[in-house]
A and B are shown apart, each in its own frame.
Chain A
Amino acid sequence: MASKARALPRIHGDDTPVTGGLDDISRFLVDLPEPAMDTDDELVREILTLFALHPEMQSRYSEMDLRAMDDATRHVMLEQIRASLGIPPLRRHVR
């Protein structure tokens, strides 16, 4: 019996167009006060970014010292901020 091997349909490559690259994008941005704390910690940076975008949250947590917190406490604080802002949680990515 002759082989009936079928060629796989061709799958095209990534169709992502080269996007952006403007030298000056300032008019597409909003000036925000820069966070007072310089950090490489992703969790702290997330909280500071939320404070910059939502200053009312910064006021609410002004007594809290992010530097003195452990990660578990920061996670709780982050979840509280998101809940206060009405941000539905994302699902974790599943392969």
Chain B
Amino acid sequence: MHEIPYPVSITSCRDGSRQEAEVIRLTRELASSAIKARWWADPGLTLQEASREGDYHWDWVDHVGGLRARPFARAVAIRTTDGNLQAAMTYRVNGRSCLTPGDRAIFGDRLAAAPWNRDGLVSVPLYRGAGTALMVHAVADGHTLGLGGRMTLLSLPTPATRQFYERLGFQETGVEAGGMIQYELVPERATILLRDHGRL
């Protein structure tokens, strides 16, 4: 989707107010200055707490840098007016459907919210909704590329994960050897998601 950046709003956990933010392209430089340098720099966060998070070891700089040579890869983030990135995501527009062989799909490669937005990691999270905004963006991209918004991804088998993706309309399609769950959003549910978020 070429209309980037564009505004979105996310919710402040402090008072429930809507906060201005924008969907932006995530570059290697931004990954360095706003993810690598800031996400895990909270002095209140112990190494033990941080390393329990599934993405603590992810090198977003290297990852996003490696996508430059991949024309079907996309890297996006939610940036608030203070310059911080509240969530980041990479996806591919040349994914394949697991449910309907032959159909194309968006493949969700990586997705994570900033550590300061996560329940259980900080006592008072800052924002919610940034990850959902990125998911809606990826589905909208799949819509405008003629994929019907179909999207697949893999995630950990936790109740929170199941709840998050089922709320967005995804269904489980299989289990990977390592225990990761395959999820897929079919076009009918993608349409509902985009309507629910005012995009259709």
Interface of A is mostly: loop
For A37-55 the 0/1 string (1 means CB < 8 A from B) is 0000011011011101110
B134 → chain A closest CB, angstroms: 8
A1-22 residues with Cβ-Cβ distance < 8 A to B are 8-22
* Partner pick for A43 among B2, B108, B110, B153, CB 8 A cutoff: B2
**Interface contact A13-B127, CB-CB below 8 Å:** yes
* Partner pick for A87 among B55, B125, B132, B143, CB 8 A cutoff: B143
* Partner pick for A16 among B4, B143, B164, CB 8 A cutoff: B164
**Interface contact B96-A30, CB-CB below 8 Å:** yes
Q: Closest 10 A-B residue pairs measured CB to CB?
A: A16-B131, A13-B125, A42-B2, A14-B117, A14-B113, A18-B54, A19-B111, A17-B161, A46-B2, A16-B113
Known A16-B164, A87-B144: A11·B71 in contact at CB below 8 Å:
no
**Interface contact A11-B146, CB-CB below 8 Å:** no
Can you list 15 residue pairs at the A/B interface with Cβ under 8 Å? A11-B12, A13-B126, A14-B129, A17-B160, A18-B155, A19-B153, A20-B154, A28-B98, A28-B107, A29-B92, A29-B107, A32-B72, A46-B145, A49-B72, A95-B20
**In the complex, chain A residues whose CB is within 8 Å of the CB of B54:** 18, 21
**Interface contact A49-B71, CB-CB below 8 Å:** yes
Chain B residues within 8 Å of chain A by Cβ, number? 76
* Partner pick for B95 among A30, A46, A54, A92, CB 8 A cutoff: A30
For B34-59 the 0/1 string (1 means CB < 8 A from A) is 00000000000000000001110010
B189 within 8 Å of A (CB atoms): no
Interface residues, chain B, with chain A CB atoms under 8 Å away: 1-4, 6-9, 11-16, 18, 20, 53-55, 58, 71-72, 86-87, 90, 92-96, 98, 104, 107-114, 117-119, 122, 125-132, 134-135, 140, 143-147, 152-156, 158, 160-161, 163-165, 180, 194, 198-200
Interface residues, chain A, with chain B CB atoms under 8 Å away: 8-22, 25, 28-32, 34-35, 42-43, 45-46, 48-50, 52-54, 78, 82, 85-88, 90-95
**Interface contact A93-B128, CB-CB below 8 Å:** no
CA distance A50 to B92 in the complex (A): 13
**In the complex, chain A residues whose CB is within 8 Å of the CB of B180:** 22
Known A12-B119, A42-B2, A46-B1: A17·B146 in contact at CB below 8 Å:
no
> Which residue from chain B places its CB closest to the CB of A15 in the assembled complex?
B164
